[in-house]
Amino acid sequence: MKRLTRANAKAALKPRNANSHKGNHGHALIVAGSMGSMGAAVIAAKACMRSGVGLLTVNVPEEERFILQTAIPEAMLVRRENTAFDFNRFAAIGIGPGIGIDAVAINLLTDILEQSTKPLLLDADALKIIADHKTLLDKVPEQTILTPHPKEFERLFGIHKNAEDRTSTAIKKAKEMNVVIVLKSHQTLVTYAGEAFYNTTGNAGLAKGGSGDALTGTITAFLAQGYPSFVAAKLGVYIHGLAADIALQDQSMESLLITDVIECLGKAFKKLVQ
């Protein structure tokens, strides 16, 4: 297993064209949030916008739309109740943070798995739904990124004795399914096609709610900008952790909030290209 280092990330990051416009940097769709969980949508959306995407649309319930539009006016919005829009007009899709596991969420996830031909990331409640409806696992498109924490991973792939066993299964399942698995932990694993990297950035301040939502937004931004799935996952994991490390200049691991991390993404990008 290899180390995911600054050199890896710097080599993968594409220079920003000074003559580019928003249409050159992808249009992402993030499906996130529900009543009582709109923070997940806001966090994922902010992280996505801070990670270089040109345009962002967020799918949220109509009755919760004001929260998103107030918190992040840079993002566009589509109502979850609107089932007549084309998923394939987006460059990439991230689905799962805070969407719930009700019938509406199940149907929406199923539609995306069956209809979308664009790069896809599955996180949080999307993974819970798949774990509860195992037939959906066969519908997951190749090259999709799955971002489970250990409990979500075990709901999908069974109970393991320890972290080493989970790592072994993650590498095996990623290869079998031809997907990218981001197994989140204190040293997050990113694996695809038999290759495996463990991350070297990040700290225990990330052991709080919302960290995974921000990672979803960051990786989805890279997907929308045209990075291959494995590269997008590695870049997103590294930058997310680097921003958390930079945030400790002003915060402690106890006090760190994921919003602090998002505000340090810009410094993380700058540090990466120095």
Q: How many CB atoms lie within 10 A of CB 176?
A: 8
CA distance 94 to 218: 10
CA distances from 265 to 4, 16, 46, 227, 245 (A): 18, 16, 10, 18, 10
Task: Kindly report, residue by residue over 11-42, the tens digit of the pLDDT.
Answer: 999 999 999 999 999 999 999 999 999 999 99
∠ Cα 53 54 60 (to 5°): 75
Res 85: pLDDT: 78
Q: Name the DSSP class of 185.
A: S
Res 256: pLDDT: 98
CA distance 154 to 215: 20
CA distance 22 to 41: 22
Res 118: pLDDT: 97
Going residue by residue through the chain (274 aa), what tens digit of pLDDT does each one get?
A: 999 999 999 999 999 999 999 999 999 999 999 999 999 999 999 999 999 999 999 999 999 999 999 999 999 999 999 877 789 999 999 999 999 999 999 999 999 999 999 999 999 999 999 999 999 999 999 999 999 999 999 999 999 999 999 999 999 999 999 999 999 999 999 999 999 999 999 999 999 999 999 999 999 999 999 999 999 999 999 999 999 999 999 999 999 999 999 999 999 999 999 8
Res 243: pLDDT: 98
Task: Kindly report, residue by residue over 39-82, the tens digit of the pLDDT.
Answer: 999 999 999 999 999 999 999 999 999 999 999 999 999 999 98
Q: Is 3.40.1190.20 the CATH number for 22-273?
A: yes
Pairing of strands 180-183, 195-199: unpaired
Pairing of strands 195-199, 92-95: unpaired
CA distance 52 to 255: 27
Closest to 235 (Cα-Cα) out of 196, 190, 192? 190
Helices (H), the chain: 6-12, 38-49, 65-71, 103-115, 125-132, 150-157, 163-177, 211-224, 229-247, 258-263, 265-273
CA distance 37 to 34: 5
- The structure tokens listed for 144 are 């999709």
Task: Identify the residue whose tokens are 């950035």.
Answer: 201
Residues 55/27, Cβ–Cβ less than 8 Å: yes
Res 170: pLDDT: 98
Backbone torsions φ then ψ of 272, nearest 5 degrees: -65, -35
Pairing of strands 180-183, 189-192: antiparallel
Res 82: pLDDT: 86
Res 83: pLDDT: 79
CA distances from 222 to 14, 38, 133, 207, 227 (A): 10, 23, 29, 23, 6
